[in-house]
Structure 1
């Protein structure tokens, strides 16, 4: 696919239009005779981004389409269905878009409407190819700082693929690339802190997999480019285009998962124009780093493109005696083999080492007092965690014909952890704590995920269908070790200052490790997005999900019975769009999830409990008001309750019910003032079990966040900042120990200018300005004040 490298002047553009109209081949089908375009066609175009919608219409009406991606980037199209002429269908697609279509026979040119058009700035016309590269270019232009970080498209609604955010009958938010860059995020924790609906449960710096709380439910809810995985240690964000966060059950869309939601990280794809970006900076403390981001096309025809992200980071964090040393190399290649076939490839190497990882706190029969000084390291400086990850991912999209698209993907992720140390601080007296230090031998994981899907568009009378059906899966094969010596609990140590001791003399590790079992989730799914007219639609879905687990010890014996459980999980959503800027929906969805794993502190440590069924009812509204996207949702979620009983056994008993309302806003309040904000209010209760009527542990009834940017009168200078509030939460299941409410604030400044004619962006962010020490939850403390700064040059 050929792409222009510069924009022609108006006279050249006029000549180009004339030549294109007469000589350019249709990229969707052979041009129809001029007389035929005056007839009617059976049109079925679902609501989606405008670029793909125009491509779909061009295929169905056999049109030759000419449009520049800049014109359609960030715009959405309503659903269009029925027996229509090409002109009627085009007018409906372009309603309220500020664009118009000029039709000459089978040739269609998309322009800015004459009322606002300026011929001197009209983008160059481009004859589009038929596949996803146009969608990728549009996605890269969404969610910019200039748009107030407001996204309009979801790249992957699980099995359903890409959809318009406003027309999706689920509560989903997007943290786009420019926002990730501008807050100088270095881990998912920075994104979870900013996003209105998420809270960090387990910080990444603890050596455990980073966990997130959504709608009051904890989980390792992660996916990459729509492909599920169990969890992810040492996650990185520099190679991600965006992070898409689904609130609530995702069983129909992603398979077995906790009911809180799903975090889908989307990899950066190749760019049409050459990209060379180098950032040098500091993530806080003495964590210096350099990040290179490079993209472009290999060939003049624009069929093969590349993207390369390289990161090197080393130094101490804002916590005393805590260090991070990591290397990331992440490459992507896209190959538009034909106008119908697109292949995408990713290769990632990530080596991550931390020293002085943060401690896990366990309070045994005494209440949490004042949080210890967050600046101090309450672990040991010699506690280490090493992680090496190699990942390969491939995707294929083939448009068989005008009505059928086939999608396939496969990911293989190998994880090697040669060293993993942990520190547990046990508090049984307000006078001090005892500390256990443990060293584990090498462990390994092999994650795989795959999908094979078909999208089929057809009409049944006046109804337009987009049927999606297929198969997807994920699995985790693990290798463990019996080498896990510890010091036992030593102490007590005072709370006024950490007590450092020499590195423990653990016995030599002669254990070679063993195959410890696997977890597999397979899913057969069918969904039908039915468009009744421009206002009404319904999404029906059914997922046949199966969870299989096997757990072995070093002798090859099963430590518990294998289980193989299946369930049909339905989903139904009704969508009403009374006007183009407003969508309302009501939905019901069920999901299956693997039972929880007993914590190391329980007598049945690491036991996997039985699978659980969750159910959710939700009513939501999404409105685009000016340059703001406003969303709200009422939800009711229920699942099995898991807890550690009085006999120190981790078990399932009773139900956990969360009812709540959430609200979010993203975009521009004024031309100079941007916000990303939201609030979630929860009423969470336990039904049955020993804790009937109690509130679940570590569930905040209210969280409220606002991140804002304001463009100052000095050109290129922007003031940034955020305020994040979490109300009180119970620190134990019996509701006898309560953590206080906490409010933290960030502040920053960004300056965009040019140096030697090249774009230069300078950033400074101060997190937790007041340097407040607080409990993140009952197990971990929050991060102290840190100062991050960087300089990014593009050339």
Structure 2
């Protein structure tokens, strides 16, 4: 069976590994049969690199970001979830939010301004420090393209020991598709009931006969029609939000010698869309005006242009030691013409009292320059086996912005046309900021015996921001202990710390706009277990965690607007304490049944001075319970069915915990059929999301909540040549 995803045959990787192992047996037999005449010959170091113990398409054995190397998940004393592209292709996922629903420790936040916010274990991920691409930090203030990804890794808990500035909840590491030795050429098309379309090309192979020069390229053209509509009363015919996206990706690998490989990567994204900041909730947690109304003006838009240019060089010093170094330059430019709508203070009825807009035109220029060098090796001392990592990484960050604002708080009545304002960011002065971040780290995974492993690591960080004295320093240790009572299971314990520099408040509507903030520091204790069942084809995991963060940064709504028009205030004080437990299952249950699923219980609260209004409150979008499951059952070699369910518990929509969003369950189903058409492998897929047309609210606050879509259909066609 050759259509991607519905084969029960052995994988190409597994066949290649078995072939390589068999060849070594043959060579060994030849060596034993041939006499030694004392002739000295050059010895080439032969390496077999296994990038994962993959038994099936649902289960992945390695998360490269968890330990900055290809160390088995069973040897990683940390909770990690790996979501392979096979699963998200089945789900017809088009963005990172639809990928991350496969791990219940991740909950979505606001999706306004064509970006996506996420929380891990209840802590919000920062756009600047919460996302990695192949282990390097990315500025993720936009909807990340997923068509270039091989897998998404959710690294849970603090990872500052390896990556420096990163949040206490964890990190998202996105691993890109690699070049292939053999020819690969796939064409894909998908659409939905609203008329959205996406065309994809994925191609790879060797560019020379020796296969020392290889490539992988991905091209995507997407046009989205969304289900929500701009309010027709503003002098406009009702129209939906639209999105136009183009993506190009190229990765080249060049074997410069048997021991030296150069990898070059470039991707470019152009993404323009109208703005939908989300719905407004009244005090009862109900959507004001209906689920399908967009209050932003139809002329508002955001236009993102993102380019990444990177290189990696890997040198195998010997069979036990290697050095890897890399550099990435990210250029992210955005123009945003925004109407910035909001309810009239004290009103919950915009049809009677109207609402306000505060239009502005701005241009943002973000530049991220990242680099790293890692030395990794294996050696024995005093009866201990060591897997050592010594490395350093850096980040050079620049940000420039130009902004021209129109009338602030302009009152708009629902039946009043609002013309596009005469605003041009070019007329505004340029405001700039930058900082440099350096880190040095050492990690050692020690094998004491067959049952015990010990992990110890430490990191030193410096972040320097010229001019305002907002410099930060941190030492981040990490310890882990693994006990394996059997060959297929273990119990682990870890301790780790997080370090998140905060910079300064940047919000024109904030009382403390421009104020420098202290870093947030967090620490976690985690006790977990991992088991491989059914001859290793099913991975079960469980973990209990306890995380505390100090110098917590909180932005609150003001009861009364200040004379200057400020309506929020950002402060730092007290702690944030999150504790809970989680379970996960991923892999093959029987010859025809595959599943991936997880659940999490979370107890999250602010710990503030006794008279502080936030003391004992729960952060926004931190549900007590959440769970998910996605399964595939193969009826025949050509026909497969899918079933999925997503549960998100009740959540608070504001920091004062006065407005709640109800719990919900969403059911999804799908079916795929594969066929051979004139020698071409073709697969057809039909998915139904939200099968029972459930009304629900996803992430976001009471002023920018994402309203869940009702029952919707998706259709996809893929051809593999």
Measured against the shorter chain, the TM-score band is: 0.7 to 0.9
1:592 aligns with 2:499: yes
- In structure 2, what is the equivalent of residue 252 of structure 1? 161
RMSD between superposed Cα atoms in Å: 2.9
Cα–Cα, structure 1 residues 452 and 629, in superposed 2: closer, same or farther, change >3 Å?
same
- For the Cα contact (< 8 Å) 2:488–2:533, is it kept in 1? yes
1:282 to 156, 174, 191: 191
- For the Cα contact (< 8 Å) 2:378–2:385, is it kept in 1? yes
Show CA shifts across 1:394-415 (max 9, x none). Answer: 1111111233211101000111
1:429 aligns with 2:347: yes
CA–CA separation in structure 2 for the residues paired with 1:255 and 1:106: 50
1:763 to 649, 670, 685: 685
1:700 to 605, 608, 623: 623
- In structure 2, what is the equivalent of residue 657 of structure 1? 577
After superposition, residues 402-551 of structure 1 pair within 5 angstroms as: 402-421=319-338, 423-426=340-343, 428-432=346-350, 434-485=355-406, 488-491=409-412, 493=414, 501-511=417-427, 513-549=429-465
- In structure 2, what is the equivalent of residue 228 of structure 1? 137
- In structure 1, what is the equivalent of residue 102 of structure 2? 194
CA–CA separation in structure 1 for the residues paired with 2:260 and 2:145: 30
Cα–Cα, structure 1 residues 705 and 240, in superposed 2: closer, same or farther, change >3 Å?
same
1:267 to 143, 158, 176: 176
Cα–Cα, structure 1 residues 382 and 511, in superposed 2: closer, same or farther, change >3 Å?
same
Deviation at 1:185, TM superposition (A): 1.4
- In structure 2, what is the equivalent of residue 353 of structure 1? 272
- For the Cα contact (< 8 Å) 1:295–1:306, is it kept in 2? yes
Cα–Cα, structure 1 residues 403 and 525, in superposed 2: closer, same or farther, change >3 Å?
same
CA–CA separation in structure 2 for the residues paired with 1:751 and 1:247: 36
1:215 aligns with 2:215: no
Show CA shifts across 1:568-622 (max 9, x none). Answer: 1100000112222112210000111122756554322465521111000001111
CA–CA separation in structure 2 for the residues paired with 1:546 and 1:208: 32
Q: Which moved more, 1:678-687 or 1:147-156?
A: 147-156
CA–CA separation in structure 1 for the residues paired with 2:148 and 2:404: 35
Deviation at 1:781, TM superposition (A): 2.0
CA–CA separation in structure 2 for the residues paired with 1:238 and 1:142: 21
Deviation at 1:324, TM superposition (A): 1.0
- In structure 2, what is the equivalent of residue 678 of structure 1? 598
- In structure 2, what is the equivalent of residue 326 of structure 1? 245
Q: The residue matched to 1:150 in structure 2 has which SS?
A: coil
CA–CA separation in structure 1 for the residues paired with 2:513 and 2:355: 20
- For the Cα contact (< 8 Å) 1:353–1:385, is it kept in 2? yes
Deviation at 1:510, TM superposition (A): 3.6
Q: The residue matched to 2:409 in structure 1 has which SS?
A: coil
- In structure 2, what is the equivalent of residue 642 of structure 1? 553
1:726 aligns with 2:648: yes
CA–CA separation in structure 2 for the residues paired with 1:587 and 1:72: 38
Deviation at 1:317, TM superposition (A): 2.3
Size of the aligned set, in residue pairs, is: 663
2:705 to 767, 780, 786: 780
- For the Cα contact (< 8 Å) 2:299–2:420, is it kept in 1? no
Cα–Cα, structure 1 residues 694 and 156, in superposed 2: closer, same or farther, change >3 Å?
closer
CA–CA separation in structure 2 for the residues paired with 1:370 and 1:418: 29
- For the Cα contact (< 8 Å) 1:222–1:232, is it kept in 2? no
1:305 aligns with 2:211: no
- In structure 1, what is the equivalent of residue 237 of structure 2? none
CA–CA separation in structure 1 for the residues paired with 2:195 and 2:290: 19
CA–CA separation in structure 2 for the residues paired with 1:424 and 1:69: 57
- For the Cα contact (< 8 Å) 1:175–1:244, is it kept in 2? yes
Cα–Cα, structure 1 residues 414 and 566, in superposed 2: closer, same or farther, change >3 Å?
same
Cα–Cα, structure 1 residues 519 and 208, in superposed 2: closer, same or farther, change >3 Å?
farther
CA–CA separation in structure 1 for the residues paired with 2:668 and 2:72: 32
Show CA shifts across 1:125-183 (max 9, x none). Answer: xx998568x44xx55x948xxx251111112325x322112221111111112112221
- For the Cα contact (< 8 Å) 1:131–1:342, is it kept in 2? no
1:789 aligns with 2:715: yes
CA–CA separation in structure 1 for the residues paired with 2:195 and 2:92: 15
Cα–Cα, structure 1 residues 508 and 517, in superposed 2: closer, same or farther, change >3 Å?
closer
Q: The residue matched to 2:427 in structure 1 has which SS?
A: coil
Cα–Cα, structure 1 residues 453 and 508, in superposed 2: closer, same or farther, change >3 Å?
closer
Cα–Cα, structure 1 residues 131 and 332, in superposed 2: closer, same or farther, change >3 Å?
farther
- For the Cα contact (< 8 Å) 1:287–1:324, is it kept in 2? no
CA–CA separation in structure 2 for the residues paired with 1:675 and 1:326: 32
Deviation at 1:715, TM superposition (A): 3.7
Unaligned runs of 5+ in 2: 1-12, 34-42, 230-239, 559-567
Show CA shifts across 1:468-492 (max 9, x none). Answer: 1121122321110132335625346
CA–CA separation in structure 1 for the residues paired with 2:46 and 2:406: 59
- In structure 1, what is the equivalent of residue 77 of structure 2? 169
After superposition, residues 734-749 of structure 1 pair within 5 angstroms as: 734-749=656-671
1:570 aligns with 2:477: yes
- For the Cα contact (< 8 Å) 2:184–2:205, is it kept in 1? yes
Q: The residue matched to 1:418 in structure 2 has which SS?
A: strand
Q: The residue matched to 1:430 in structure 2 has which SS?
A: coil
Cα–Cα, structure 1 residues 500 and 151, in superposed 2: closer, same or farther, change >3 Å?
farther
After superposition, residues 130-149 of structure 1 pair within 5 angstroms as: 130=46, 134-135=49-50, 138=51, 142=54, 147=56, 149=58
CA–CA separation in structure 1 for the residues paired with 2:44 and 2:417: 65
CA–CA separation in structure 2 for the residues paired with 1:223 and 1:171: 17
- In structure 2, what is the equivalent of residue 397 of structure 1? 314
- For the Cα contact (< 8 Å) 2:194–2:225, is it kept in 1? yes
Q: The residue matched to 1:207 in structure 2 has which SS?
A: helix
Structure with more contact order per residue of length (Cα contacts < 8 Å, sep ≥ 6): 2
Alignment TM-score, normalising by the size of structure 2: 0.86
- For the Cα contact (< 8 Å) 2:386–2:447, is it kept in 1? yes
Cα–Cα, structure 1 residues 361 and 474, in superposed 2: closer, same or farther, change >3 Å?
farther
- For the Cα contact (< 8 Å) 2:187–2:201, is it kept in 1? yes
CA–CA separation in structure 2 for the residues paired with 1:328 and 1:519: 29
Cα–Cα, structure 1 residues 181 and 405, in superposed 2: closer, same or farther, change >3 Å?
same
- In structure 2, what is the equivalent of residue 709 of structure 1? 632
- For the Cα contact (< 8 Å) 2:187–2:202, is it kept in 1? yes
- In structure 2, what is the equivalent of residue 71 of structure 1? 18
Q: Which moved more, 1:642-651 or 1:574-583?
A: 642-651
